[in-house]
Amino acid sequence: MKQTSIEVNAPGALTRRRFLKTGSGVLMGTLMATGGTLAALAPSHTWALTMNALTDAEGDKLLKVTRAIFPHDTLDDAVYALVVKDLDGAAANDADVAKLLRAGLAELDVRASGNWVGLDYLARENIVIKMAGTDFFEKIRGTSVVSLYNNEMAWAHFGYEGSSYEMGGYFDRGFQDLNWLPDPDAGASPAKA
Amino acid sequence: MANIALDDDTAVVVIGSGAGGGTLANELCQKGIKVVVLEAGAHESAATFQNDEWGSFGQLSWLDKRTTSGSWRVARDFSGLPAWICKTVGGSTTHWAGASLRIQEHEFKALTNYGKLEGANLLDWPLTLQDLEPYYDKAENKMGVTRTNGIPGLPGNNNFKVMYDGAKKLGYKDCHTGRMAINSRKRDGRAHCRQLGFCFQGCKMDAKWSTMNSEIPKAEKTGNLDLRPKAQVVKIEHDKSGKVNAVVYADADGNLHKQKARVVCVAGNSIETPRLLLNSESGKYPDGLANSSGQVGRNYMRHMTGSVYATFDEPVHMWRGTTMAGIITDEGRHDPSRGFVGGYEMETLSLGLPFMAAFLDPGGWGRDFCRAMDNYANMAGMWLVGEDMPQETNRITVHASEKDQYGMPVPNVNFDDHPNDIAMREHAFGQGRAIYEAAGANQVYPVPPYPSTHNLGTCRMSAKAADGVANGNGQTHDIDNLFISDGSQFTTGAAENPTLTIVTLAIRQADYISRQMSLKAI
C-alpha cells in the first residue's frame, strides 16, 4: 500500500512520454518548494503522473478535490498527485469506480453553475464540503487518508522520520532531545544503557 | 522439534501461539509433555518485521472477515475490524507494547468491592492475588519486566518528558517509564531496546518479549513441541462420553486435517476462542462446547480506552523511542467519588504519521483535521486504559449467514459502552487534557477508542458453573480435558494491560494440567 515516490522526470522525458501517450493524460506539476527536504527527495523540480483511466483534466480536477477535502496549505501538489494516482488506478481496475469519479466531477460543475475548476480555492472547497457523505466524497477521502500520508514526501513535509531500524533506532539519535521541558528525575527515567 | 502423528492421542493440542498459548506450550514442553501448537498465522521474525505501519499491519493483523454491531463507534468507523490483533506465530505478543502490570487485589473481587451495578454482570474471580503472586513472579522474570528482578527502567523518551512534566504539575505521584517487558539491558539472549519507535510492528531488535522470540524457541529446544503455522482450526471434536478428542484444522492450502488430542487448550484470543467453541456444536452440545451456562461469548470486554493527543509550540517527535514506556498509575485506584467504579491507567502512546491520519479522528477531514496533522511533529500522546464493565449483551456470536474461506460462520462482535465506561472515559479525557495543558499544550485532541487490542472475558472463570465457562484453572466446567488458555478466561477486565496476567495464568495452568495428567484425571 505504500508508495515511496511518484514518477519525477526531467522535462525532456516528460515531453517524450506525453508524445508517446495519446490515449490518456499526463498530470504535470512543478514543486512549490525549490529548497528543503521535499525538493531534496526529487531529482527534478517537475513531476509527472501518467494517467491510465482518466484524462489529465480529470486528474487535475481530482487533485483539486483532494486538496479541498484535506487542505494542507503548504503541502505540495506532488503529494496530492499520489492520491490521484491511486484513484486513477482504482478506476482502471473497476469501471464502477471510474463512473463514480466521473459523475462526481460532473456534479461539481453542476453545483458551481459552470466551471468548478475556474473558481478560487475557497469557493471550490465550499462546494466540495457540501458533498460530504456522498460516495464520491467518501471514495476520495478514504483513499486519501492512506495515500496522502503514507509516502516519504508527506513524511518529509510533516517531519515524520519513517523507518528507523536501518539507522540503529533513535538510541543515539534524539529520542530524548526535547529541551524545552526539564528532564525527569533519574528514578522516573533512568539513564540509558 | 517434535513430529507428532495426526493419530497420536497422547499430546496436548494448544490452539494459538500468543501470550496464553505460546507460554502454556513452552511450560508444558519444559515438563516433558508433548505439545502440538496450531497457529493460524505465518512464522515471521525480527528479520521480516517492518518499520512501516501499513506494511506491518498487512503482515501481522488478523484480517479475516468479522462483523460488528452495537452502539460503539468502532462499529461505524471500522465495521469489519472490531479488533486490532494478530494472526502470526507469537500472536498479539508481536504487536503488544510491553506494559506489564499486575492486577490489583481489589480488582479480583470486583463484585464484592464495586457492588451490583445495573446492566453489569460483575463477578469475583475464583482466585485471588495471593494465589497468583508466585506465578506473577515467574512471569515477570520470564519476560524480563523492567523495575522487577533488579532490571532498570527504560530511559524515557521525548513523549514521556511531556507526560512527566504535566503529571508533576498536576500533583500525580506515580509517573515513570513503566514496568515493561522490553530489555533495558541485554538479557536472556535478547538485545536491549534501541528506541526504534516501532513496538507495535514487531520488535526488530527482539528487545521486546514475545512468545515468538522467547517461549516458542525454548519449547522447540526441548524436542517436545510440534509447531504448525498456517493451521486454522475450524472445529473441536469429542467422543461419546463428551470429552474432547480431536481438533480439525485447515492447512495453508485449505486441506483439512484431524489431530487427535489428549487435552485441548484454546487460546485464540477472545473473539476466536468463543467462536470456535460455538462453531464446534454437536448433537451432544447443541449450544457449542462448554456452554451449559450460556456464557460462551458473553461478557466481552475491551477495556475502557481512549487517547489524548496534544500539540505544543515546540517539537516533541513523539514517535522516537519506546512507544509505551511511560505511565501514570494514580488513577488506577477504585474511588467511586470520581463518579465511576474501578480505575484507569495513563500510558504514553505514539502513532506514526500514516496511522495518525487513520486514527486521530476516524472518518475525519477538513481544516481542523489538517491543522492537527500539520502539527504532527509537535504532538505528544497518551493512551487511557481502564476497567470496563462485563455485560451479558456485549457478546461474540457466530453469524447466521456469513461464512469464512473454510465455510465456517464468521464472528460478530456486539458492543455497547456501559454508563460506567462512559463516565470513566470522560474523567480520563479530562485528566489527560489537564496534564497536557499543564505542560503547555496549545491544542488538545481527545481521540475515540481504536479497534480493540485488549479483548477479554468471553469464556470467563467462575466459582459456580452457572456463572461462567471455566474454573479457576481455566478448565471448562463442562469438559475436564478442555481448557481456556487466553484472556477469554478473565472474570473481569481490571485496569491493567492484560498480557502479564495472561502469561501468569498460563504458567499456573501448565502446573495444573501436568498434575492432572499425572493423576490420570485427564
Decide: B510 and B24 in contact? Cβ < 8 Å. Answer: yes
Instruction: Label the pairing between strands A26-30 and A46-50.
Output: antiparallel
Residues of chain A above pLDDT 70, percent: 80
How far is Cα A141 from Cα A150, in angstroms, rounded to an integer?
A: 14
Place of cell 487517547: B307
CA distance A24 to chain B (A): 30
Does residue B96 carry a pLDDT above 60? yes
A/B interface, count of CB pairs below 8 Å: 164
C-alpha distances in Å from residue B202, one per residue of A149, B90, B207: 21, 10, 10
Cβ-based contacts of A159 with chain B (< 8 Å): 315, 317, 376-377
B319 and A165 in contact by Cβ < 8 A? no
CA distance B17 to B32: 18
Which residue in B52, B157, B185 is closest to A2 by CB distance? Answer: B52
Which residue from B minimizes the CA distance to A150?
B354
Q: Give residue-wise pLDDT tens across range B322-351.
A: 999 999 999 999 999 999 999 999 999 999
Asked if B158's CB is within 8 angstroms of A175's CB, the reply is yes
Pairing state of beta strands B67-69 and B409-414? parallel
In one letter, which amino acid is B478?
D
Task: Please tell me the distance from the alpha carbon of residue B86 to that of residue B475, in angstroms, as a whole number.
Answer: 25
CA torsion sign for A157, A158, A164, A170 is: positive
Cα-trace Rg, chain A: 20
CB contact under 8 A, A174 and B320: yes
Q: Do A170 and B320 make contact, defined as CB atoms within 8 angstroms?
A: yes
Q: Is A149 on the interface with B (CB under 8 A)?
A: yes
CB contact under 8 A, A193 and B353: no
Q: Tell me the ipTM for this assembly.
A: 0.95
Mean pLDDT of the region B89-94: 98
pLDDT at A8: 39
> Looking at A12-21, B9-18, B367-376, which range is the least confident one?
A12-21
Mind giving me the DSSP string for B297-320? T-S-B--EEEEEEEE-SS---TTS
Across the interface, whether the CB atoms of A175 and B321 are under 8 A apart is answered: yes
- How far is residue A66 from each of residues A51, A79, A101, A114, measured CA to CA in Å? 16, 10, 12, 20
Q: Do B196 and A187 touch (CB under 8 A)?
A: no
Q: Is B339 left (phi over 0), alpha (psi -120 to 50) or beta?
A: left
Q: How far is CA B334 from CA B78, B108, B341, B344, B477, in A?
A: 32, 12, 6, 9, 31
- Residue A36 backbone zone (phi > 0: left; psi -120 to 50: alpha; other: beta): left
From CA B124, how far away is CA B492, in angstroms rounded? 8
Burial class (CB in 10 A: 0-12, 13-18, 19+), B360: buried
pLDDT in tens, B72-81: 999 999 999 9
**Is the minimum CB–CB distance between A133 and chain B shorter than 8 Å?**
no
Position B485 pLDDT exceeds 60 = yes
Q: Cite the beta strand spans of B105-206 per DSSP E.
A: 175-176
Residues of A in contact with B352 (CB under 8 A): 160, 162
**pLDDT score for A136:** 98
Residue B191 has what pLDDT?
98
Q: Tell me: pLDDT of B112 over 70.
A: yes
A79 Cβ under 8 Å from any chain B Cβ: no
| Contact (CB<8Å) B161/A176 | yes
pLDDT score, position A148: 97
Q: Give the whole-angstrom CA distance, residue B114 versus residue B97.
A: 29
> Over the stretch B391-444, which tens digit does the pLDDT of each residue have?
999 999 999 999 999 999 999 999 999 999 999 999 999 999 999 999 999 999
Q: What is the pLDDT of residue B457?
A: 98
Q: Give the span between the Cα atoms of B453 and B303, in whole angstroms.
A: 9
- For A82-97, letters b (16+ CB in 10 Å) and e give bbbbbbbbbbeeeeeb
Is A71 at the interface with chain B, CB within 8 A? Answer: yes
The partner residue sitting opposite B365, judged by closest CB among A69, A162, A178, is: A69
Quick one: pLDDT at residue A22? 38
Name the residue of chain B whose CA is nearest to A190's CA.
B155
* A117 alpha-carbon distance from chain centroid: 18
Considering only CB atoms, A188 lies closest to which of B50, B53, B177, namely B177
Contacts of A2 in chain B (CB under 8 A): 52, 54-55
A3 touches chain B (CB under 8 A): no
The whole-number pLDDT of residue A41 equals 63
> Contact A70/B369, CB-based, under 8 Å?
yes
Contacts of A182 (CB under 8 A, 6+ apart): B165
Q: Give the chain A residue nearest B167 (alpha carbons).
A: A184
Alpha-carbon span B93 to A80, nearest angstrom = 36
pLDDT recorded at residue A27: 79
Q: How many other C-beta atoms can be found within 10 angstroms of the C-beta atom of residue A52?
A: 15
Contact residues, chain B, for A191 at CB < 8 Å: 155
> Residue A19 pLDDT > 60, yes or no?
no
Q: What is the pLDDT of residues A84-131, one digit of tens each?
A: 999 999 999 999 999 999 999 999 999 999 999 999 999 999 999 999
Contact check, Cβ <8 Å, B177/A183: no
Looking from the CA of B181 toward its CB, the CA atoms found within 13 Å total: 32
Q: Do B157 and A164 touch (CB under 8 A)?
A: no
34-53 of A, contacting B, C-beta below 8 A: none
Cβ–Cβ below 8 Å for B54 and A173: no
Residue A25 pLDDT exceeds 90: no
Residue B514 cell numbers, joined: 501436568
Q: Nearest CA of chain B to the CA of A192: how many Å?
A: 5
pLDDT band at A50 (very low <50, low <70, confident <90, very high): confident
Whether the per-residue pLDDT at A10 is higher than 70: the answer is: no
- Bridge-based pairing of strands B263-266 and B12-15 is parallel
* Pick from A152, A63, A160: nearest CA to B373: A160
Given CB atoms, is A72 within the 8 Å cutoff of chain B? Answer: yes
Which triple of cell numbers denotes residue B410? 464468521
Beta-carbon separation of B158 and A178 below 8 A: yes
Cell numbers placing A161 = 522520520
Going by C-alpha positions, the residue among A170, A9, A76 that lies closest to residue B197 is A170
Compare all CA atoms of chain B with the CA of A143 and give the residue at the minimum distance: B358
Q: Of all residues in chain B, what percent carry a pLDDT higher than 70?
A: 100
- Which residue, among B235, B237, B230, B247, has the nearest Cα to B275 in the 3D structure? B235
Cβ–Cβ < 8 Å for B42, B230: yes
Residue B388: helix, strand or coil by DSSP? coil
Q: Please, which residues have CB within 8 angstroms of residue B260's CB and are 6 or more apart in sequence?
A: B6, B7, B8, B9, B11, B245, B246
Q: Chain B contacts of A126, Cβ < 8 Å?
A: none
Whether the predicted pLDDT of B60 surpasses 80: yes
Asked if B311 and B319 count as a contact pair (C-beta separation under 8 A), the reply is no
**Nearest CB partner across the interface for B155, out of A1, A69, A176:** A176
Distance CA A14, CA A47 (A): 8
End-to-end CA distance of chain A: 37
Report the distance separating Cα B228 and Cα B219, nearest Å: 13
CA angle A166, B56, A168 (to 5 degrees): 15
A189: distance to nearest CA of chain B, Å? Answer: 5
Q: What is the pLDDT of residue A30?
A: 74
Q: Can you name the residues that pair with B264 across neighbouring β-strands?
A: B13, B482
A42 falls in which pLDDT band (50, 70, 90)? Answer: low
> Buried b vs exposed e over B156-189: b needs ≥16 C-beta within 10 Å?
bbbbbbbbbbbbbebebeebbbbbbbbbbeeeee
Asked if residues B487 and B302 have their Cβ atoms less than 8 Å apart, the reply is no
Predicted pLDDT at A38: 61
pLDDT band at A17 (very low <50, low <70, confident <90, very high): very low
Compute the distance between CA of residue A151 and CA of residue A6 in angstroms, rounded to an integer.
9
3-class state of residue B403 by DSSP = strand
Mean pLDDT of chain B: 98
* Residues B415 and B74: beta-carbon distance below 8 Å: yes
Q: Are B89 and B229 in contact (CB under 8 A)?
A: yes
Are B156 and A189 within 8 A, CB to CB?
yes
**Mean pLDDT (whole number) for B174-202:** 98
Residue A146, chain B, CB below 8 Å: the answer is yes
Q: Evaluate if residue B270 carries a pLDDT over 90.
A: yes
Answer yes or no: do A158 and B353 touch at CB < 8 A.
yes
A169 touching chain B per CB within 8 A: yes
Which of A132, A163, A175 lies closest to B320 in CB terms?
Answer: A175
| B161–A165 CB contact, under 8 Å | no
Residue B121 predicted with pLDDT over 50: yes
Facing residue for B353 by CB, picked from A132, A154, A171? A154
Confidence of residue A35 (pLDDT cuts 50, 70, 90): low
Q: CB contact, 8 Å: A16 with chain B?
A: no
| Chain B residues in contact with A161 (beta carbon < 8 A) | 317, 319-320
CB–CB of B94/B212 below 8 Å? yes
